[in-house]
């Protein structure tokens, strides 16, 4: 992060792969990361690197903030529903499962692959560090604040994320058709036909997000 200002001042276009420029609220960022921000003057100039939302801004941006793995999964999954009037945005739920590497690269026994093999566990229930980023993105889509319960889990697989997203209906809409229109031209999103479910093995090593829409008992499941 400390090198970014010098590169930007010299005319270099910067794509930040860390989480340094994803959140505009500096106080929130410092609370989540537990350290002072090294270059707060550039935060307002950063463009969030989610092409499905900020495609035009990304093309001309000098500083791009690469999105996190959980945030891109939850935001893309709810993108067609977050529009005002469709669902109750105050009670969204994201139940997400990630590979062991999703917990970071620290040398801790609890996240070693052989310790987690044949295991399944919840972590960071009190507040995952990606939660503010997810809320920020969803609030922008919904044009207002959102309420999100986000619970991540670690599962023994090499890579990938599986998320089940819940939203309560406010209006009776054909959400399959709505989703088909929303994602029709999105290269990185693969919307499955009605009644199909995504399986991790079917898109191993892929760069797309595979999404399915279901409606049991009046609830939308992604």
* 69-221 CATH pick, 3.10.290.10, 3.30.360.10, 1.10.10.60, 3.40.50.2000: 3.30.360.10
**Domain spans of the chain?**
4-65, 69-221
Judged by DSSP in three states, 95 sits in strand
Q: What is the pLDDT of residue 103?
A: 60
**Cα–Cα distance measured from residue 9 to residue 211, given in angstroms and rounded to the nearest whole number:** 40
User: Long-range contacts for 18-24 (Cβ within 8 Å, ≥24 apart)?
Assistant: 18/66, 19/65, 19/68, 19/129, 19/133, 20/65, 21/46, 21/63, 21/65, 22/46, 22/48, 22/65, 22/66, 22/67, 22/68, 22/71, 22/133, 22/136, 23/132, 23/133, 23/136, 24/136
**Cα–Cα distance measured from residue 76 to residue 183, given in angstroms and rounded to the nearest whole number:** 9
Q: What is the pLDDT of residue 149?
A: 96
Low-confidence stretches of the chain (pLDDT < 50) are none
**Cα–Cα distance measured from residue 53 to residue 133, given in angstroms and rounded to the nearest whole number:** 14
* 4-65 CATH pick, 3.40.640.10, 3.40.50.300, 3.40.50.720, 1.10.472.10: 3.40.50.720
pTM of structure? 0.88
Q: What is the pLDDT of residue 1?
A: 58
pLDDT for 67-77, tens place per residue? 999 999 999 99
Q: What is the pLDDT of residue 218?
A: 55
């Amino acid at each position: 992060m400390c090198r970014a200002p010098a590169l930007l001042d010299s005319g270099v276009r910067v794509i930040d792969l860390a989480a340094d420029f994803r959140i505009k609220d500096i106080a929130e960022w410092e609370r989540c990361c537990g350290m002072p921000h090294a270059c707060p003057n550039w935060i307002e100039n950063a463009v969030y690197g989610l092409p499905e939302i900020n495609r035009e801004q990304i093309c001309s941006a000098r500083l791009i903030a690469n999105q996190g793995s959980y945030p891109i999964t939850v935001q893309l999954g709810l993108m067609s529903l977050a529009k005002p009037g469709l669902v109750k945005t105050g009670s969204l739920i994201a139940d997400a499962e990630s590979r062991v590497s999703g917990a970071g690269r620290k040398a801790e026994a609890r996240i070693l692959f052989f310790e987690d093999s044949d295991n399944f566990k919840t972590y960071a229930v009190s507040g995952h560090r990606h939660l503010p980023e997810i809320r920020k993105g969803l609030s922008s889509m919904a044009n207002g604040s959102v309420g999100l319960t986000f619970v991540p889990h670690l599962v023994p697989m090499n890579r990938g994320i599986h998320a089940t997203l819940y939203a309560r209906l406010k209006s009776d809409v054909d959400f399959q058709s709505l989703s088909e229109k929303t994602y029709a031209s999105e290269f990185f999103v693969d919307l499955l036909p009605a009644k199909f479910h995504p399986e991790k093995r079917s898109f191993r090593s892929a760069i797309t997000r595979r999404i399915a829409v279901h409606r049991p008992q009046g609830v939308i499941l992604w």
